[in-house]
Amino acid sequence: MRKTIAQRGDGKAGCVFWVTILLTFILIGWQVVPVKISSSDLEEFITRQAEMAGYASAEQIRDSVLARARDLKLPLKPTDLRVEKSNNRILIHCYYEVPISLLVYTYNWRIEHKIDRPVFIA
């Protein structure tokens, strides 16, 4: 009895394609997730600073936000941060770009945090 080899459509191109897509997403995630975590951490810190604004001056808040951005390795320059404090409100606005280097392209991720809170003095 003779066995015939039937074609089953066992092409490897589909596997190579999907593995390439998977590796691309892993590479992008490897670059983007730490920046997103640092950015969210900075926004949370800015929000806490705004909530405690009754006890600090605008310059102290500005210096602490810049120090925190430096700790998180975010490229926030003093010219990109604006802190305005009046008798009853505080506005903290910062804008910065984080370059994300991919294999063939560098994406400049623009991140903006704008916090506007009332000032409470206890």
- pLDDT by 10s per residue, the chain, length 122: 566 565 565 667 778 888 989 998 998 899 899 999 999 999 999 999 988 888 888 899 999 999 999 999 999 999 999 999 888 889 999 999 999 988 788 999 999 999 998 887 75
Residue 51 within any structural domain of the chain: yes
Structural domain for 24, as ranges = 17-118
Residue 4 within any structural domain of the chain: no
pTM of the full predicted structure? 0.80
Residue 10 within any structural domain of the chain: no
Backbone angles phi, psi at 11, to 5 degrees: -70, 140
Residue 111 within any structural domain of the chain: yes
Residue 12 within any structural domain of the chain: no
Contact 65, 94 (CB under 8 A): yes
Q: How far apart are CA 42 and CA 29, in angstroms?
A: 20
Residue 5 within any structural domain of the chain: no
Residue 8 within any structural domain of the chain: no
How many domains would you assign to the chain? 1
Residue 98 within any structural domain of the chain: yes
